[in-house]
Structure 1
Amino acid sequence: MTPEQHLQEIEAFSRRYRYDMDYLKEFLHASPKGYEKFANFRPLSHHREFLSADIYWVSKLAAMQVADCGACLQLSVRMALEAGLDKSLVQACLQGGSHLPDKLKDIFDFATAVAGHQDIDPQLEERIDTILEKRQRIELGVCVATASVYPTIKRAMGYAQSCCLLDVDFSV
């Protein structure tokens, strides 16, 4: 894609999700070649092949809360709702996962621990083994790992907001 096409894509995404993409515009202008490589990474951050939508989005929301507590989390909420995740599950994730069904609570806790580079409780590890096949665990790992890329780039560029939970907008 040309830089102009990337810019059009960025602006369309920004309008669709009501999300400030100035940091990506700056990235594109400062390093078109670097941005092209980043653009090739982006599909990986949305890859879902083997995970159910609820497990994928609970994992993404858990990881995003570790990586970011501002605009990127709001974006993930909008995307989860747009993908059909039940609003009550989104709300439960934003409340620390305590009101999630047991299986999803385990997923939330596992994703949070993975995102936070924490030791995994052996009992949780055993439960995760009964919930997820190896290929699903790999996909969950990709989901969690890629959640931190966007907020990390924003922070490095000086676009980080002060760390406070937004008044989350549940409109899609």
Structure 2
Amino acid sequence: MTDQQALLNQITAFETHYHYDAGFLKDMVQHAPGSYDHFQHFQTMARHRELLSTEVFWIAKIASMQQEDCGGCLQLNLNMAREQGLPVAWLSAALDGGSTLPAHLQQVLHYARQVAAQGSVEPELMEAMQQAYSKGQLLELGVAIASAKVYPTIKRALGLTQACQAVTITL
């Protein structure tokens, strides 16, 4: 089996496990293998969580994906968050604006949305986040939030705009 075939098999297994269309990754393996080699490093970065709690990390990722309006990627992140133990009630609350989330997660949700929107973060919220989280944690949040933009951007570059439109989300 070639290295390329092994990668394609890994992507197919990922698609099957998460019920996610990763055709854009298969295209990258087949048509831009050098880009895929570098993209694997990005994926490691996008999944990196060292300083943040699981729930803070996933609420930030979900808020970012909502901001990017990428239904398929949002569903993938919801599935991954569930797999890592986040309660369905929290995920549902995050999708509905966060009013029933614990206070610290409401803060993270609103912060992640504001950062992802590329505007300024409300000063009171920024101050609260700086008091609640270390500089390292805020940097890790920044990486988690920023990484949400890459997947839909690559899909859109391929003209796969249908893949990045709202879908029916299931929990």
- Structure 1 length-normalised TM: 0.93
Letter in 1 for 2:68: A
1:10-159 equivalences in 2 (<5 Å): 10-159=11-160
CA RMSD in angstroms comes to: 1.5
Residue deviations 1:100-151, cap 9 Å, x none? 2221111111110111101111110111012111110010001001111111
Structure 2 unaligned spans of 5+: none
How many pairs are equivalent?
170
Is the CA contact 2:49–2:57 (under 8 Å) kept in the aligned structure 1? yes
Matches of 1:54 and 1:92, distance apart in 2: 13
User: Does the aligned pair in 2 maintain the 1:62–1:108 contact within 8 Å?
Assistant: yes
Q: Percent identity?
A: 40
Q: Structure 1 residues 98 and 69, CA, compared in 2 at 3 Å: closer, same or farther?
A: farther
Distance 1:147 1:162, change over 3 A: closer
CA distance change for structure 1 residues 19 and 163 in 2, over 3 Å: closer, same or farther?
closer
| Amino acid corresponding to residue 113 of structure 1 in structure 2 | Q
TM-score, structure 2 length as denominator?
0.94
CA contact (8 A) 2:152 2:164 kept: no
Report whether the alignment pairs 1:160 with 2:156.
Answer: no
Q: Specify the code of the residue in structure 2 equivalent to 1:65.
A: Q
User: Once superposed, which parts of structure 1, at least 4 consecutive aligned residues long, lie more than 6 Å away?
Assistant: none
Q: Distance in 2 between matches of 1:81 and 1:7?
A: 25
Runs of at least 5 residues in structure 1 that lack an aligned partner in the other structure: none
